[in-house]
């Protein structure tokens, strides 16, 4: 498994874990700032992975 894939998996798991456990996200039914940050990291990691896979 490449480091790009590792980073992508880590970002995905971190984001999913946050969405499961964050009280604020559940209370407001909208992503909290932490969730937005994690989603941005996740999207960046996914983009990096797609770019690496395309080479």
Whichever of 6 and 16 has its CB closer to Zn ion, that residue is 16
Query: CB 36 → Zn ion: shortest distance, Å?
Result: 9
The residue at minimum Cβ distance from Zn ion is: 22
Chain residues binding Zn ion by CB under 5 A are 22, 24-25, 32, 34-35
b/e burial code for range 9-43 (CB count within 10 A of at least 16 → b): eebeeebeebeeebeebeeeeebbeebeebeebbe
Query: CB 37 → Zn ion: shortest distance, Å?
Result: 10
């Amino acid at each position: 498994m490449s480091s790009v894939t590792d980073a992508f998996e880590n970002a995905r798991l971190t984001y999913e874990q946050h969405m499961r456990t964050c009280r604020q996200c559940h209370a407001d039914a909208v992503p909290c700032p932490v969730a937005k940050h994690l989603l941005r990291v996740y999207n960046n990691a996914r983009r990096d992975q797609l770019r690496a896979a395309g080479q």
